[in-house]
Amino acid sequence: MITGNLANVLGIDVWVNPENTRMEMSRVDEPTISATIRYHGGRRDSGGQLTHDTIALELAECMAGRTHVSAGQVFLTGSGELNESNQVRRIAHVAAVEGEPGAGYRQVVDLERCVRNVLIETDRLAAAGEELRTVVLPLLGTGGGNSDLRKTVETLLAATVEYFRLRPNSRIRVVYLLAYTDAQSAVCKAALDTYREGQSER
């Protein structure tokens, strides 16, 4: 588990971006993971203003004119300026929330598919020669408060463990859960402790 602001995380190869099913990144002044990645991954002038929207532009190219993707779809892009500032090699954009006019965003139903696809795509590039060994996974779809935090953490943890159980030769070595708030940290710690206790009893 990693706590705090993603912008302060250093040395992790892949950052996961919980994106919407339109793959439209947040505006840079919004309090989201997407906005953090978009801003810090872009080129900025001496006043801190974004001058080249590096990651959002590459993500738009991945969409190839499409306006919507299915829940759990993943695109891996470069990391822009985050490569130098935070040693990030890739951004895994996963369709983890769906928008509805007048109602905002809600978490997609199949979070397991989101996790599985992120790890599959990361392993695919690692098998092709990229040095991708570590992943940081935010608590997908919990930013808006329209989801069950405990259930989300337990689902992400179970899906990650199951991925490694089925793929013991995965090139990924560590997946970190990102807990931004104290409440998220407490829930993550409880879930991890419960998992460890279950393992020790076997």
Among the ranges given (42-46, 87-91, 99-103, 131-135), the one the predictor scored with the smallest mean pLDDT: 99-103
| Residue in the block written with tokens 């950052």 | 15
Predicted local confidence at residue 19, as pLDDT: 96
Side chain identity at residue 146, one-letter code: N
Paired residues of 14 in beta bridges: 90, 135
Mean pLDDT for all residues in the chain: 94
The mean pLDDT value for 117-144 works out to 94
Predicted structure pTM score: 0.94
State pLDDT tens for residues 134-168.
999 999 988 765 578 999 999 999 999 999 999 99
Side chain identity at residue 171, one-letter code: R
- Residue 114: which of 71, 77, 177 has the closest Cα? 71
